[in-house]
Amino acid sequence: MGGLDGAEVERVLDAAGVRNPHVREYVAHWAGITEPDRVEVVDAADDARLVAEALDAGELLPAGEGRYYSRSYRKDTARSEERTVVATGDPADRGVYNNWHDAEEMTAAQVERMRGQSRGKTMYVVPYLMAPPGSPLEAWAAGVELTDNRPVVLHMIRMARVGVAHLEQLADPTTFVRAVHVTGDLENLGQGTDDDQRWFVTVADRRTILHFGSSYGGNALLGKIAHGLRQACYDGRASGRFLAEQFMLLGITDKQTGRTYHVCGGFPSASGKTNLAMTLAPDALGERYHVSFYGDDIAWLWVDDDGRVRGMNPEFGVFGVAKDTNELTNPGALRSIGPGSGAIFTNVAYHPQTQEVWWEGRTPEPPADVTGWEDWTGTPIADREEGDTSPWAHPNSRFTTTLANVPNIADDHDDPAGVPIDAIIFGGRTRDREPLVRAVDDLAEGVYDGLTLGAEATFAADGLDGQLRYDPMSMRPFLAYGEGDYAAHWLRIIGAATHQPVFAHVNWFQRDLTEGGGGRFLWPGYRENLRALLWLAAYQRGEASGRRTPVGVVPTADELDLTGLDLPQADLDRLLGIDVERWRQEMGFRQEHLEQFDRLPQPIWEAHRRVAAALEAER
Ligand code: GDP
Ligand code: PGA
Ligand code: MN
Ligand code: MN
């Protein structure tokens, strides 16, 4: 066991108050495999000391009062979908998108890959909880991440509830996720080549996560994507109790009535979830409405004893895209990363002398005096070659901050009972076809709509930026089992509710594709997106009736509150229009997409045929 003997591991666990024998056994087992020099148990209260150590070691750099800067290895800046695997013992769990492998084989290979890889390093033991304490889903929320990477620990402290106490209070001391992260020798892993050494494996039926070969958040913060999404997706079905989705969750309070309308929904990575949940109401509507933040990336949904769909955010922080975050687009985000916030910036541009950070869209133009500025790779801007127009910040550069810093955080965001869900929306970057918003009343049609979510992939996944693809419910990279079974689980869970939420599809990303239009966005987006959600709420209350189309109900122009917005009529018509011919063509693609799925429930096929028939009838 490297420089560390078993007695020393026992001593560290004793000193940290780790009594759960299953946690102790797990830590000792993995210390024997990865062979760290030291073991340390982490509590959120250790943050200041760990930050000081990371600054000393140069892993973090100061980025203004109480904020930090980190750079990742230049080939390690996004999730890697093709290296990400779900493994189980049951081949029936193979889906089109989950990259299924056999659990036995994958585990054995991963153990060999990780063997001895933490030599010379500290293994941090990070106990965490992905739920508000007391949540009815708490039994699926506990985990222990083992990582040999200190910046990963600092991110985990911001993104999850971290502390030994969470693992000592388990009703069943065996039920925690075993989440092992080993960084590996990043400069020699052949990222993106035929000899790629990285694997990110969720052994879902053993509740074990084995990630090797990255320190990037989406690959290394195992509480978040691997447990909160992939593992929980599996657990939700295995238990028959809940859904775990890549969803934001927000509340819109009408100050006149005091009522709050809760909306959750999925957009693919880097397609606007964080911005929507953090968005403060636009000035013209702020007098009357307040938007509150519950979550920006993950929601777990279940049905309570009264038959209401309820939702909660299992996370404790925000891992947001930096690009284009500024005073106009997202003032709330800027406040959440202000002085003293403890925020960590990753892969943005940096000025070591002034400790400033910058990213594309932070200000309309980059700093005029480039002296001292370094791009995300550490290259001085002043040394760049003439004509080098590559961005200063990596397109997937991020900020990490705890929920407590989010100015519009909901008062009841950590209520263990969650909040009642009124609406479930899907959306993404779709340059044409999809209107600003269309409401779907029927459950099967709503689930069908989620399954056929088609959008442009983004820089949040390596090498896929701009590719048009289907991304079922925005869960394509996180699905733990087959799509047909996933649809059936959705119908079962939401179908059990006595109050059905309304579904809707939204699109903030329609472009002007006419000649001379330059591809500009037709809709101003960001804070103005609230207007589409207000229409949906009015529609659900029966206060707006909209226009019925083959693909759902769209607002009429006068039903949309456009106060204070200067939107040309021609743009508005396009935003609310349905191009029937374009949709008819889409139905053929959808048919092929759905035919790939095993055991797709009949109600989904019926929904597909209803939409297709309605489009035919429009001719
Ligand atoms: P998430 O990854 O789904 O949480 O997406 P984010 O909210 O972080 O946004 C990802 C990127 O899309 C950022 O660069 C945002 O500035 C941009 N974005 C978000 N919302 C909008 C919008 O309504 N309109 C436009 N044009 N861009 C947006
Ligand atoms: P995002 O979260 O959805 O906010 O981009 C990270 C990810 O999904 O990789
Ligand atoms: Mn995400
Ligand atoms: Mn986000």
Task: Note the pLDDT tens digit of each residue in 404-445.
Answer: 999 999 999 999 999 999 999 999 999 999 999 999 999 999
Ligand 2 atom nearest residue 274's Cα: 4
In angstroms, what is the span from residue 451 Cα to ligand 3's centroid? 17
Predicted TM-score (pTM) of this structure: 0.97
- Report whether 220 contacts 149 (CB < 8 A): yes
272 labelled as ligand-binding?
A: yes
Q: For the chain, how far is it from start to end, CA to CA, in angstroms? A: 72
Q: Rounded CA gap, 55 and 499, in Å?
A: 52
Distances from the Cα of 169 to the Cα of 18, 43, 139, 172, angstroms: 11, 15, 11, 9
- The protein residue with its alpha carbon nearest to ligand 2, atom 1, reads 269
DSSP run (H or E) holding 464: none
Contact 60, 447 (CB under 8 A): no
For atom 14 of ligand 1, which residue has the closest CA?
Answer: 323
User: Looking at ligand 1, which residue's alpha carbon is closest to its atom 20?
Assistant: 272
**Average pLDDT of the residues in 507-533:** 94
Q: Is 138 annotated as a binding residue?
A: no
Mean pLDDT of the chain: 96
Query: Which two tokens mark 130?
Result: 């992905």
Residue ranges with CB less than 5 Å from ion ligand 3? 269, 297
Question: Which residue from 120, 232, 99 is spatially nearest to 184, judged by alpha carbons?
Answer: 120
Which tens digit of pLDDT belongs to each residue from 486-498?
Answer: 999 999 999 999 9
**d(Cα 446, Cα 441) in Å, to the nearest integer?**
7
Q: Given the structure tokens 């960590």, which residue do they identify? A: 344
pLDDT value at position 458? 84
135 is known to lie in a ligand binding site: no
Query: Nearest CA to 562 among 553, 549, 550, 575?
Result: 575
Q: Is 121 annotated as a binding residue?
A: no
Which ligand 2 atom sits nearest the alpha carbon of residue 218?
A: 9
Phi and psi at 81, nearest 5°, equal -70, -35
pLDDT class of 517 with cuts at 50, 70, 90: confident
CA dist., res. 309 & res. 368, Å (int): 51
* Residue 325: strand, helix, or coil: coil
474 annotated among ligand-binding-site residues: no
Q: Are 367 and 393 in contact (CB under 8 A)?
A: no
Residue in 168, 210, 206, 129 with CA at minimum distance from that of residue 22: 168
**Going by DSSP bridges, is the β-strand pair 38-41/122-129 parallel, antiparallel, or unpaired?**
parallel
Would you say the C-alpha torsion 404, 406, 410, 413 has a positive or negative sign?
negative
With the most atoms of ligand 1 within 8 angstroms of its CB, the residue from 321, 336, 531 to mutate is 321
Atom of ligand 1 nearest to the CA of 277: 7
Q: Are 164 and 17 in contact (CB under 8 A)?
A: yes
Residue bearing the bigger pLDDT, 339 or 455: 339
Extract the runs of DSSP E, i.e. beta strands, from 288-347: 289-295, 299-303, 309-312, 317-321, 344-346
Tell me which residue has its CA closest to atom 19 in ligand 1. Answer: 272
Q: Is the pLDDT of residue 1 over 70?
A: no
b/e code 135-149 from CB counts within 10 Å (16+ = b): bbbbbbbbbbbbbbb
Ligand 4 centroid vs 370 CA: distance in angstroms? 30
Average pLDDT over residues 495-515: 96
In a 10 Å sphere around its CB, with 0-12 CB exposed, 13-18 middle and 19+ buried, how is residue 296 labelled? buried
CA of 269 relative to ligand 4 center, distance in Å: 7
pLDDT of residue 619: 77
pLDDT at 278 over 70: yes
Residue 320 CA, ligand 4 centroid: distance in Å? 5
Atom of ligand 2 nearest to the CA of 296: 4
* C-beta neighbour count of 456 within 10 angstroms: 19
The answer to whether 447 touches 606, Cβ cutoff 8 Å, is: no
Protein residue closest via CA to atom 7 of ligand 2: 269
Cα 33 to middle of ligand 4, angstroms: 34
Instruction: Select from 224, 273, 275 the residue to mutate for testing ligand 1; criterion: most ligand atoms less than 8 Å from CB.
Output: 275
Provide the pLDDT for residue 256: 96
**Could you tell me the maximum CA-CA distance found in the chain, to the nearest angstrom?**
77
CA of 330 to the centre of ligand 1 (A): 10
pLDDT attached to residue 363: 98
Q: 608 pLDDT exceeds 90? A: yes
CA 127 to chain centre: 21
Positive or negative CA dihedral for 113, 116, 121, 127?
A: positive
The answer to whether 400 and 68 have CB atoms below 8 angstroms apart is: no
Q: Read off the pLDDT of each residue in 242-249 and give the average, rounded to a whole number.
A: 98
Pick from 267, 219, 271, 223: nearest CA to 459: 271
Atom number of ligand 2 nearest to Cα 458: 5
Distances (CA, A) of 292 to 40, 316, 342, 406: 37, 15, 22, 10
Give the mutation target among 76, 221, 275, 297 for probing the ligand 2 site: most ligand atoms within 8 A of CB: 297
341-395 pLDDT, tens digit each: 999 999 999 999 999 999 999 999 999 999 999 999 999 999 998 899 999 999 9
Helices 6-15 and 21-34, packing angle to 10 deg: 140
Distance CA(491)–CA(179), nearest Å, equals 30
Alpha carbon of 510 to ligand 2 centroid (Å) = 21
Among 372, 330, 128, smallest CA distance to 227 is for 128
d(CA 483, CA 237): 12
**Residue 79 marked ligand-binding:** yes
Q: Minimal CA–CA distance to 583: which of 557, 618, 555?
A: 618
Task: Write out the catalytic residue numbers.
Answer: 271
Please tell me the distance from the alpha carbon of residue 249 to that of residue 33, in angstroms, as a whole number.
40
**Mean predicted confidence (pLDDT) in 509-527:** 93
Atom of ligand 1 nearest to the CA of 525: 23
| Cα-based angle 6, 8, 12 (whole degrees, multiple of 5) | 120
For ligand 1, atom 26, the nearest C-alpha belongs to: 525
Contact (Cβ atoms closer than 8 angstroms) between residue 154 and residue 47 = yes
- The ligand 1 site (C-beta within 6 Å) comprises 267, 269-275, 296, 320-321, 323-324, 329, 508, 521, 525-526, 529
Q: Tell whether residue 217 is among the known ligand binding residues.
A: yes
DSSP tag of 470: E
Mean pLDDT of 585-606: 97
Q: What is the pLDDT of residues 284-342, one digit of tens each?
A: 999 999 999 999 999 999 999 999 999 999 999 999 999 999 999 999 999 999 999 99
Name the 3-class secondary structure at 39: strand
Amino acid letter for position 304 = D
Dihedrals φ, ψ of 39, to 5°? -125, 140
Q: What are phi and psi of 164, to 5 degrees?
A: -60, -35
Ligand lying closest to the C-alpha of residue 362: 1
Ligand 2 pocket, Cβ-based, cut-off 6 angstroms = 79, 218, 269-270, 273-274, 297, 319, 321, 460
The tokens describing 240, both together, are 């028959």
pLDDT tens for 115-135 read 999 999 999 999 999 999 999
Mean pLDDT over 189-203 rounds to 97
Residue nearest to atom 9 of ligand 1 (CA): 272
DSSP for 524-572 reads --GGGGHHHHHHHHHHHTTS---EEETTEEE--GGGS--TT----HHHH
**Backbone φ, ψ for residue 62 (5° rounding):** -70, 140
Percentage of the chain surpassing pLDDT 70? 100
- Beta bridge partners, 243, equal 301
Question: Which has more pLDDT, 613 or 462?
Answer: 613
β-partners of residue 41 are 125
Q: Is 247 helix (H, G, I), strand (E, B) or coil?
A: coil
pLDDT band at 279 (very low <50, low <70, confident <90, very high): confident
Burial of 229 by CB count in 10 Å (0-12 exposed, 13-18 middle, 19+ buried)? Answer: buried
Question: What is the C-alpha separation between 529 and 275, in angstroms, rounded?
Answer: 10
pLDDT-derived band at 2, boundaries 50, 70, 90 = low
What ipTM does the predicted assembly reach? 0.99
pLDDT score, position 437: 98
Q: Judge whether 209 and 177 are in contact, CB under 8 Å.
A: yes
Q: Which two tokens stand for residue 26?
A: 């797990």
Tell me how long the chain is. Answer: 619
Ligand that lies nearest to the alpha carbon of residue 277, given by its number in the listed order: 1
Q: Are 250 and 291 in contact (CB under 8 A)?
A: yes
Q: What pLDDT score was predicted for residue 79?
A: 95
Residues paired with residue 468 on neighbouring β-strands, in sequence order: 456
Q: Whose CA is nearest to atom 10 of ligand 1?
A: 270
Between the CA of 84 and the centroid of ligand 2 the distance, in Å, is 15
* Residue 251, marked binder: no
